[in-house]
């Protein structure tokens, strides 16, 4: 009898060990390597990585113009292993007679560093898009190239309709070997169709092709979400098309207005995809529609030669329209026909929705009566309609085998007004970055699971500079790095809720690993106070090589940064 009991206990222990191993995350050795501290130049801000090669990293920061100085850049070249500065130089914007220049963006295309500017001439009423090459040693090419121009139409007296102005956009493709210049031409009439010029350039700033076409919707009722190009140079424009109402005036003119759907079961819009073929020079328009579902948020990726993949969040039809999230979807679109060849939808269950709630956060302030506090107006994360509000789709990544990961994050901004004894009104903005939702899509297109990563961050009047997260997709695992309250890891293990991280300098940097089966492991990487810096997740990025398991971290010692403008910063590497 004892032998039978012992045998049963043995098999029970083996089963428990097997379950434990199944729920364990396949861990890799993690390496954190910080470089040496560097100082910002006086009045310089916004350190940004431009790009990297196998051995070097390139970054720049910007010093804004004032009455006594012009806009300037500091360019840095770092050795990749030690993050030691090998080269630094300062340069100003190029000069153009009679024009005012402003910086637009900078990146590395192939191995060429390029800076983009916009030049506005008040006399000619023209805006010109300019590009300037910078060598990897910081040598500035004085030859500035023009990539396009916009002429501003004359405004009628009393007409301040800004949509007539037009605009430039510059988009780097995922392979980082081509970029697109997207030009919205000014419209002479308010309800005219939107005219667009697309041009694709390679790393040598050589134009591969360019063409004009007309978007078949009015500018006022078509909001562009994303513009991208595929490996062949074909262009895609994803946008939200609002329903229109046409009204004929007494003078015979047709007025086109957006149809509003307040207190209605119809959202009054749909998502449209415009596909421009560079060979045929023709535009195809596709409508992305889910049966019985309103799409709330969406993103797009070019998957292979035949299909495009898209994913996002939805709210079911048949209820009074509120922009809340009830579930997630994944779909493949045939490039030639525009049909949804396959799609998968999954409702979030009630227990999952009820788990995601906003914690109580109080604002403390001084009055004549002493220290007072007030709970910020925010509302619950779960609404009466059963959906999530204040959630945004942040990332959408496709693995090599065709499977995908969809990421959402809770985000909201709360404005709070207070009045002192003299009647002066002060406005404070509180930035909340809350839980992360991870959704896994199998290679057959089916949504297999979704998980919640507890995260609570709040800051005041800084745009959430140290909040949000950095994500890295490496094989089957998804990694998240963010600043967290030091006690949260212990609280979550005890079954308690996470509390808000309010003071970045006192926080710890947390790593969360999610494997292919949805198992989650959470650990602390380092304490920001011990490192004498604060990680900036929004400035942390992956190496350009998609197969690389290394991320570039950016840390800032901000103790006096917001007061005197001086600060020290570090770059580091995180190997997962």
Tell me: the pLDDT tens digits for 176-222? Answer: 888 989 888 777 666 667 788 888 898 889 998 888 888 888 777 88
Give the domain range for residue 242: 93-157+164-288
Lowest-pLDDT range of 316-320, 422-426, 538-542: 316-320
Residues of the chain with pLDDT > 70: what percent?
76
Contact 535, 549 (CB under 8 A): no
3-state secondary structure of 164: helix
* Beta-strand runs (E) in 348-446: 362-367, 370-375, 391-398, 404-419, 425-441
Q: Indicate the DSSP class of residue 571.
A: E
Tokens of 261: 């759907």
pLDDT given at position 157: 47
In a domain, 356, yes or no: no
Nearest to 466 by CA among 508, 422, 410: 508
pLDDT given at position 126: 86
In a domain, 532, yes or no: no
User: Edge-to-edge, what's the strand order for the sheet holding 508-514?
Assistant: 470-474, 477-484, 508-514, 520-527
Confidence of residue 425 (pLDDT cuts 50, 70, 90): confident
* Burial of residue 474, with CB atoms counted within 10 A of its CB: 0-12 exposed, 13-18 middle, 19 or more buried: middle
Instruction: Determine the Cα–Cα distance for residues 498 and 489; give it in Å rounded to an integer.
Output: 8
Structure confidence by residue, pLDDT tens digits, 471-484: 998 888 999 999 99
Which are the contacts of 359, defined by CB distance < 8 A and separation ≥ 6?
Answer: 456, 497, 498, 499, 500
Structure confidence by residue, pLDDT tens digits, 211-269: 888 888 877 788 888 888 877 778 888 888 887 766 656 655 656 666 665 545 667 78
Burial annotation 278-306 (CB, 10 A radius, 16+ → b, else e): beeeebeebebebeebbbbbbbbbbbeee
Instruction: Determine the Cα–Cα distance for residues 117 and 95; give it in Å rounded to an integer.
Output: 11
3-state secondary structure of 530: helix
Query: Which tops the pLDDT comparison, 373 or 417?
Result: 417
Contact 47, 62 (CB under 8 A): no
pLDDT given at position 225: 84
Instruction: Determine the Cα–Cα distance for residues 459 and 482; give it in Å rounded to an integer.
Output: 14
Structure confidence by residue, pLDDT tens digits, 100-158: 888 899 999 988 999 999 998 888 888 899 999 999 998 999 899 999 888 876 655 44
Query: Which tops the pLDDT comparison, 29 or 254?
Result: 29
Instruction: Determine the Cα–Cα distance for residues 216 and 284; give it in Å rounded to an integer.
Output: 10
Burial annotation 49-88 (CB, 10 A radius, 16+ → b, else e): bbbbeeeebbbbbbbebeeeeeebbbbbbbebeebeeeee
Mean pLDDT of the chain: 79
| Mean pLDDT, range 309-337, rounded to an integer | 81
pLDDT given at position 312: 93
In a domain, 446, yes or no: no
Whether residue 5 is predicted with pLDDT greater than 50 in this model: the reply is no
Confidence of residue 381 (pLDDT cuts 50, 70, 90): very low
In a domain, 576, yes or no: no
Contact 186, 165 (CB under 8 A): yes
Structure confidence by residue, pLDDT tens digits, 436-465: 999 999 989 999 999 999 999 998 888 898
Q: C-alpha angle 254/258/263, rounded to 5°?
A: 135
**Phi, psi dihedral angles at 138 (to 5 degrees):** 85, 10
Which are the contacts of 363, defined by CB distance < 8 A and separation ≥ 6?
Answer: 373, 374, 375, 376, 416, 428, 430
pLDDT given at position 164: 57
pLDDT given at position 481: 94
In a domain, 266, yes or no: yes
Lowest-pLDDT range of 43-47, 171-175, 224-228, 313-317: 43-47
Report DSSP letters for 476-497, one per residue.
Answer: TEEEEEEEE-TTHHHHHHTTPP
**Locate tokens 């011990």: which residue?**
530
Query: Which tops the pLDDT comparison, 526 or 156?
Result: 526
In a domain, 378, yes or no: no
Contact 549, 576 (CB under 8 A): yes
Nearest to 329 by CA among 292, 298, 353, 287: 298
Residues of the chain with pLDDT > 90: what percent?
21
In a domain, 174, yes or no: yes
Structure confidence by residue, pLDDT tens digits, 313-326: 998 876 655 667 88
pLDDT given at position 124: 84
pLDDT given at position 258: 61
Confidence of residue 97 (pLDDT cuts 50, 70, 90): confident
> How many folded domains does the chain comprise?
1
Instruction: Determine the Cα–Cα distance for residues 158 and 358; give it in Å rounded to an integer.
Output: 46
């Amino acid at each position: 009898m004892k032998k039978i009991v012992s045998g049963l206990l043995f098999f029970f222990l083996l089963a428990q060990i097997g379950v434990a191993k199944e729920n364990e995350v396949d861990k890799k050795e993690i390496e954190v390597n910080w470089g040496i501290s560097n100082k910002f130049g006086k009045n310089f801000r916004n350190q940004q990585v431009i790009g990297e090669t196998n051995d070097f990293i390139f970054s720049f920061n910007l010093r804004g113009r004032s009455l006594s100085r012009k806009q300037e850049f500091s360019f840095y070249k770092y050795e990749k292993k030690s993050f030691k500065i090998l080269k630094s130089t300062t340069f100003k914007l190029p000069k153009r007679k009679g024009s005012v220049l402003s910086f637009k963006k900078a990146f590395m295309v192939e191995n060429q560093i390029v800076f983009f500017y916009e030049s506005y001439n008040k006399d000619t009423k023209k805006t010109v898009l300019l590009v300037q090459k910078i060598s990897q040693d910081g040598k500035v090419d004085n030859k500035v190239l023009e990539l396009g121009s916009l002429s501003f139409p004359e405004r009628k007296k009393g007409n301040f309709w800004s949509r007539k102005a037009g605009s430039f956009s510059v988009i780097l493709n995922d392979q980082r070997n081509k970029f697109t210049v997207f030009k919205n031409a000014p419209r002479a009439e308010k309800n005219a169709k939107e005219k667009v010029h697309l041009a694709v350039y390679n790393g040598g700033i050589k134009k591969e092709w360019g063409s004009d076409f007309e978007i078949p919707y009015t500018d006022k009722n078509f909001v562009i979400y994303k513009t991208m190009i595929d490996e062949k140079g074909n262009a895609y424009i994803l946008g939200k098309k609002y329903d229109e109402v046409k009204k004929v005036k007494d003078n015979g003119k047709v007025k086109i207005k957006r149809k509003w759907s307040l207190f209605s079961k119809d959202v009054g819009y749909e998502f449209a995809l415009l596909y421009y073929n560079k060979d045929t020079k023709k535009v195809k328009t596709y409508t992305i529609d889910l049966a019985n579902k309103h799409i709330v948020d969406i993103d797009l990726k070019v998957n292979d030669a035949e299909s495009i993949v898209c994913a996002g969040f939805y709210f079911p039809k048949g209820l009074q329209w509120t922009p809340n999230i009830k579930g997630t979807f994944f779909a493949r679109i045939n490039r030639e026909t525009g049909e949804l060849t396959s799609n998968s939808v999954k409702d979030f269950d009630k227990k999952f929705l009820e788990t995601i709630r906003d914690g109580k956060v109080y604002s403390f302030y001084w009055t004549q009566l002493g220290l007072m506090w007030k709970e910020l107006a925010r509302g619950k994360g779960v609404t009466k309609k059963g959906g999530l509000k204040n959630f945004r789709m942040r990332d959408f990544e496709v693995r090599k085998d065709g499977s995908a990961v969809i990421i959402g994050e809770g985000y909201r901004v709360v404005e709070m007004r207070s009045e002192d004894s003299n009647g002066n009104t002060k406005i404070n903005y509180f930035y909340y970055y809350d839980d992360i939702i991870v959704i896994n899509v199998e290679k057959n297109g089916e949504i297999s699971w979704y998980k919640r990563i507890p995260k609570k961050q709040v800051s005041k009047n800084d745009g959430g500079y140290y909040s949000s997260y950095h994500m890295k997709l490496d094989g089957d695992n998804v990694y998240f790095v963010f600043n967290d309250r030091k006690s949260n890891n212990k609280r979550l293990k005890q079954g308690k809720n996470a509390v808000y991280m309010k003071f970045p300098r006192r926080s710890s940097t947390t790593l969360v690993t999610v494997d292919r089966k949805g198992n989650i492991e959470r650990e602390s990487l380092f304490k920001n106070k011990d490192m004498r810096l604060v990680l900036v997740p929004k400035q942390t990025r992956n190496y350009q090589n998609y197969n690389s398991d290394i991320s570039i971290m950016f840390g800032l010692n901000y103790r006096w940064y917001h007061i005197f403008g001086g600060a020290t910063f570090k770059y580091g590497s995180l190997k997962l």
